[in-house]
């Protein structure tokens, strides 16, 4: 007896392995997995929705600029605050110096009057 050659079985699929578009798991359209909707099936956006979407994109693009602007304003505020504090310290130092000079002048005047 000669051994009978059998053809290899092709396209054997397990239920875990889904089909592809070219080679679906089943040819029956009712049993096929639903397709993702195409662009023509997606409802068109209204102009207001489109405007808000564009506005949101514009806001996202301008965020680094707004962040840099806020950062610069903060740095300007800190620099101005630092300048004010330096001026205040200098004014207090000059005031103490003037008070000491005033006391020296009073003492000198008192000594001159007493002699």
SS (H, E, C) the chain: CCCCCCCCCCCCCCCCCCCCCCCCCCCCCCCCCCCCCCCCCCCCCCHHHHHHHHHHHHHHHHHHHHHHHHHHHHHHHHHHHHHHHHHHHHHHHHHHHHHHHHHHHHHHHHHHHHC
Is 7 inside any structural domain? no
**Considering the domain boundaries, does residue 99 fall inside one?**
yes
Look at residue 63 and tell me if it is in a domain.
yes
Please indicate, yes or no, if residue 105 is contained in any of the structural domains.
yes
The reply to whether 111 falls in a domain is: yes
Q: pLDDT at position 64, please?
A: 87
- pLDDT attached to residue 71: 95
Query: In angstroms, rounded to a whole number, what is the distance separating the alpha carbons of residues 89 and 96?
Result: 11
Residue 66 lies in a domain: yes
Task: Give this prediction's pTM.
Answer: 0.41
CA separation for the pair 90, 98 (Å, rounded): 12
Q: Note the pLDDT of residue 103.
A: 97
Residue 24: exposure state from Cβ atoms within 10 A (0-12, 13-18, ≥19): middle
Q: Which residues of the chain have pLDDT under 70?
A: 1-22, 24-25, 27, 29, 32-51
In a domain, 1, yes or no: no
Domain that holds residue 58: 51-115
Looking at the domain assignment, is residue 60 inside a domain? Answer: yes
**What is the C-alpha separation between 71 and 84, in angstroms, rounded?**
20
pLDDT at 58: 76
- Say what the pLDDT of residue 75 is: 97
Query: What are 72-93's pLDDT values in tens digits?
Result: 999 999 999 999 999 999 999 9
| pLDDT given for residue 19 in this prediction | 67
pLDDT at 21: 64
Domain count within the chain: 1
């Amino acid at each position: 007896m000669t051994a009978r050659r059998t053809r290899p079985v092709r396209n054997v699929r397990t239920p875990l392995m889904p089909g592809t578009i070219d080679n679906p798991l089943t040819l029956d359209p009712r049993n096929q997995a639903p397709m993702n909707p195409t662009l023509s099936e997606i409802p068109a956006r209204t102009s207001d929705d489109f405007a808000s979407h564009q506005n949101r994109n514009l806001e996202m693009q301008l965020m680094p600029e707004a962040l840099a602007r806020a950062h610069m304003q903060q740095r300007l505020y800190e620099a101005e605050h630092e300048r004010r504090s330096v001026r205040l310290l200098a004014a207090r130092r000059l005031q103490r110096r003037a008070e000491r000079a005033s006391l020296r002048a009073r003492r000198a005047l008192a000594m001159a009057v007493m002699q």
